[in-house]
């Protein structure tokens, strides 16, 4: 196997959240006090795990469990995974998980008293195609309360986990929905300083993706770190 040894570009300041964001209370005791040590990228950072569908079987319809439909507003989420140069990231695994339509996770730790849906487990796995495109079907997750501060509610969101070509491109993010009034009150969303970077976390409603009589469509592109144009001397 050929290994691309071109280093990945540094992330752009302010387009990523900090470790310490006191408005998000859980960061206070979990953020390191010392700055990270900068290291050159070696084979450990330049390469990454490779997942294949036979060993990691895809499940692209979260709205259907053992042939039974989940409750809620059926949606299609599609988009492309690209690098910072706009090049597609092909054949890459994406993991997704979310609350049900009532805002409840099928998780023993979720104590919200909204109802569980026996037909909604809330997790899936898809792979990008050769053009970096992905697609899955689910139901629109509900907003849910959390204990961060008085009257705290998470905006509707889907958790998304990506790997890309290197350990350095590992990304876990959240996809939000347009027009959600909770976004401007959410310390997790607001922790990213750059407003444009925040807004890129919001999917676009897309009538072209919407299927008549079936499901609303949303478009969400995800961008992973790109590589330097030329190998870097260091």
Partner 1 sequence: MFATASQTIGPFWHLIDDPAWFDLTRFGAEGERIAIEGRMTDGAAAGVTDAAIELFQTSPARSASFPGYGRTATGSDGTFRFVTIRPEPLSGPAGARGNALQAPHCGIAIFARGLLKPLFTRVYFAGEALNETDPILALIDPPSRRPTLIARQIAPARYHLDISLQGDAETVFLEF
Catalytic residues: 105, 144, 154, 157, 159
Query: Residue 37: CB partners within 8 Å, gap ≥ 6?
Result: none
Buried b or exposed e, range 56-90, using 16+ CB within 10 angstroms: eeeebebbbbeeeebebebbbbbbbbbbeeeebbe
Using CB under 8 A, pick the residue from 2, 40, 66, 150 that binds partner 1.
40
Using CB under 8 A, pick the residue from 2, 49, 208, 229 that binds partner 1.
49
Binders in 62-121 for partner 1, by CB under 8 A = 82-86, 95-97, 99, 105-107, 109-110, 121
CB of 88 or CB of 210, closer to partner 1: 88
The count of residues interacting with partner 1 (CB under 8 A) is 80
Question: Is residue 38 part of the contact set for partner 1 (CB under 8 A)?
Answer: yes
CB of 96 to partner 1, least distance (A): 8
| Assigned token pair, 129 | 């195609």
Using CB under 8 A, pick the residue from 89, 188, 203, 215 that binds partner 1.
188
CB of 167 or CB of 210, closer to partner 1: 167
Using CB under 8 A, pick the residue from 125, 140, 141, 203 that binds partner 1.
125
Span from 22-30, 67-75, 128-136, 177-185 in contact with partner 1 (CB under 8 A):
22-30
Q: Which residues pair with 137 in a beta bridge?
A: 61, 76
Span from 63-71, 126-134, 202-210, 216-224 in contact with partner 1 (CB under 8 A):
216-224
CA nearest to 201, candidates 225, 181, 215, 183 = 183
Question: 149 burial class (0-12, 13-18, 19+ CB within 10 angstroms)?
Answer: exposed
Contact map string, positions 133 to 172, toward partner 1, x by CB under 8 A: --------------------------x-x-----xx-xxx
Question: 208 burial class (0-12, 13-18, 19+ CB within 10 angstroms)?
Answer: exposed
Residue 215 DSSP one-character state: B
Q: 42: number of CA atoms within 13 Å, CB side?
A: 3
């Amino acid at each position: 196997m050929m290994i691309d040894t071109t280093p990945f570009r540094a992330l752009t300041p302010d387009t990523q959240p900090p470790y310490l964001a006191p408005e998000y209370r859980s960061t206070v005791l979990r953020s390191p006090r010392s700055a990270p040590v900068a290291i050159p990228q070696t084979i450990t950072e330049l390469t990454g795990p490779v997942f294949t569908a036979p060993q990691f079987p895809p499940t692209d319809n979260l709205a259907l469990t053992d042939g039974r439909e989940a409750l809620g507003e059926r949606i299609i989420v599609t988009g492309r995974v690209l690098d910072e140069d706009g090049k597609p990231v092909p054949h890459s695994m994406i993991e997704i998980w979310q609350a049900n339509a009532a805002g409840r996770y099928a998780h023993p730790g979720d104590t919200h008293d909204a109802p569980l849906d026996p037909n909604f487990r809330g997790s899936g796995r898809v792979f990008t195609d050769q053009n970096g495109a992905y697609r899955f079907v689910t139901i629109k997750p509900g907003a849910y309360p959390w204990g961060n501060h008085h009257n705290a509610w998470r905006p509707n969101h889907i958790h998304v986990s990506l790997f890309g070509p290197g350990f350095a491109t590992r990304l876990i993010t959240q996809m939000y929905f347009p027009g959600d009034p909770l976004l401007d009150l959410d310390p997790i969303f607001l922790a990213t300083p750059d407003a444009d970077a925040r807004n890129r976390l919001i999917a676009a409603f897309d009538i072209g993706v919407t299927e008549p009589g079936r499901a609303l469509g949303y478009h969400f592109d995800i961008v992973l770190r790109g590589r330097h144009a030329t190998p870097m001397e260091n």
